[in-house]
């Protein structure tokens, strides 16, 4: 009996830990198990905000992270994803000093297109676009030391891409 009670308590705490939002009421019986949770809040819940995970930096390299979900009070902005550094090293925007950059803001890119270089221990590692889209911003200056996963470009994905 005592053990059951302990299990029930632990159950309640586990449940609550597992919930992202605390309920208004929680009921847990045990003899053939009932669990009841209620989050209702008197009035009708507001329209839920669009589900959008916020980025944790450094983002997973090579994977785009959504960084700017549309604001609610400001006029809708373009949604961009970031292209992250595939290696720690020095970031170059151009193939050699003085040469024009691989890409400029406003350029459209296609998957696999070289958009920059990372030099790590004399190795030149290409930075490649991972989707079709348009370069909205270059986030690091030429010659900047970057870490793995650090955002390099903001890209507006092409819906069709």
Partner 1 sequence: MSGVFGTVLIANRGEIALRIARACRELGVKVAVVYSTEDAGTEVVRYADRAVCIGPGAAKHSYLNIPAVLEAARMVGADAVHPGYGFLSENADFAELCAAEGLTFIGPPPHVIEALGDKSSCRSLMAGAGLPMLPGTLESVETSAEAQEAAEAIGWPLVVKAVAGGGGRGIGVSRTPDDLPSVYRETRRHASALFGDGRVYLERYLSPARHVEIQVLADAYGNVVHLGERDCSVQRRHQKLVEETPAPALSRDLLDDMAAHAVQGAKAAGYVGAGTFEFLVDAAGGFAFMEVNCRIQVEHPVTELVTGIDLVQEQIRIAAGHPLRLRQEDVVPRGVAIECRVNAEDAARDFAPTPGRLEEFAVPAGPFVRVDTHACAGGSVSAFYDSLLAKVSVWAPDRGAALARMRRALGEVRIAGPGVRTTTAFLESVLASPGFRAGRYDTGLVERLRQEDPR
Q: How far apart are CA 65 and CA 57, in angstroms?
A: 9
Which of 67, 113, 148, 161 contacts partner 1 by CB under 8 A? 148
User: Phi first, then psi: what are they for 25, rounded to 5°?
Assistant: -135, 150
Binding partner selected for residue 87 from a copy of itself, partner 1, none, CB under the kind-specific 5 to 8 Å limit: partner 1
> Is 13 one of the binding residues for a copy of itself (CB under 8 A)?
yes
121: number of Cβ within 10 Å = 7
147 counts as binding partner 1 under rule CB under 8 A: yes
Window of 25-33, 66-74, 127-135, 145-153 that interacts with partner 1 by CB under 8 A: 145-153
Least separation, in Å, of the C-beta of 159 and a copy of itself? 27
Window of 29-37, 59-67, 92-100, 110-118 that interacts with a copy of itself by CB under 8 A: 29-37
Query: In this structure, how many other beta carbons lie within 10 angstroms of the beta carbon of residue 84?
Result: 26
* Order of all β-strands in the sheet with 89-92: 123-128, 114-120, 89-92, 144-146
Q: Which 103-132 residues touch partner 1, going by CB under 8 A?
A: 120-121, 123
| Contact partners, residue 82, CB within 8 Å, separation at least 6 | 55, 59, 64, 65, 67, 139, 151, 152, 153, 154, 155
In the complex with partner 1, the residue whose CB is nearer, 80 or 150, is 150
Who contacts 5 (Cβ-Cβ below 8 Å, separation ≥6)? none
When asked if residue 77 is in the footprint of a copy of itself (CB under 8 A), the reply is no
Q: Residues in the site for partner 1, rule: CB under 8 A? A: 13, 17, 56, 58, 60-61, 87-89, 120-121, 123, 145, 147-150
Q: Residues in the site for a copy of itself, rule: CB under 8 A? A: 1-9, 11-16, 18-40, 42-43
């Amino acid at each position: 009996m005592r053990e059951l009670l302990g299990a029930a308590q632990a159950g309640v705490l586990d449940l609550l830990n597992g919930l992202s939002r605390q309920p208004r009421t929680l009921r847990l019986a045990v003899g053939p198990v009932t669990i009841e949770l209620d989050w209702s809040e008197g009035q009708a819940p507001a329209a839920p905000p669009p589900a959008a995970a916020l980025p944790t930096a450094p983002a997973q390299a090579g994977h785009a992270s959504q960084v700017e979900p549309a604001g609610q009070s400001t006029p809708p902005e373009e949604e961009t994803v970031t292209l992250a550094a595939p290696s720690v090293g020095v970031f170059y925007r151009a193939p050699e000093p003085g040469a024009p950059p691989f890409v400029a803001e406003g350029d459209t890119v296609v998957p696999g297109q070289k958009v920059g270089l990372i030099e790590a221990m004399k190795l030149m590692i290409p930075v490649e676009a991972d989707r079709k889209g348009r370069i909205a911003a270059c986030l690091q200056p030429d010659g900047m030391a970057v870490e793995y996963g650090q955002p390099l470009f903001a890209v507006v994905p092409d819906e069709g891409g």
